[in-house]
Amino acid sequence: MFTFIIGNHETNNSNFNLNLDDIKNDYKHGLKGCHFIGMIELAYFKNIVHDGGELIAPHLQGIMWTNLTRANKENINNIFVGGRNGAIPYYSRKVKNIIGAVSYMHKLPVHGYMLRDKRSYAHTSEYLSLPRQYFLHDKLREIKFANMLVAGGEGVVLRNSILNHLKATL
């Protein structure tokens, strides 16, 4: 299970600008040669101001099944530089529960994030306020599930299978 951050795609609630194609291309480039599937999540920070509004930071959460080579590691270290206030560029841990890992990567954006200190970020235990939830819902309602899904290597086959199944059932 992983989280990757590329800080240059941050936006805010007063001037929302999200270019999913650029975001997905950067993640695919950074994870070139890896087998993975993930979803772009928007972290809505209630206590960080960015360009006159509350910070919204896209990041990628997903699963990877690749033995990383030295070239993979160098590429990851060069592309993923982290986020605001020293947010680490990536985090990973071994998956013990695949259902939990998959459900975590596509959760609804209803919980807020906050900066606890200069280098510690956390989900808040409270829901975003209804106006903040509505803001995200309004901005994301035109975006299809498939556009938030990012895959590489064998993950592309898995992504296509998921999307074909969705088409057949909807």
Mean pLDDT of 6-17: 88
Note the pLDDT tens digit of each residue in 115-153. 766 555 655 667 888 998 888 888 888 787 788 899 999
- Predicted TM-score (pTM) of this structure: 0.84
DSSP assigned state of 30: H
Structure tokens of 143?
């975006």
User: By the 8 A CB rule, do 3 and 44 touch?
Assistant: no
Q: What is the DSSP string of 96-160?
A: S-HHHHHHHHT--S-EEEEEEETTEEEEEEEEPPHHHHHHHHHHHTTS-HHHHEEEETTHHHHHH
Note the pLDDT tens digit of each residue in 99-119. 888 888 877 777 777 776 655
Residue 44 three-state SS: strand
- Amino acid (1-letter code) at residue 36: F
Cα distance between residue 128 and residue 162, in whole Å = 29
Lowest mean pLDDT among 31-40, 77-86, 89-98: 77-86
Distance of CA 77 to the CA centre of its chain: 17
User: By the 8 A CB rule, do 81 and 45 touch?
Assistant: no
pLDDT for the residue numbered 26: 92
- Residue that wins the pLDDT comparison between 35 and 147: 35
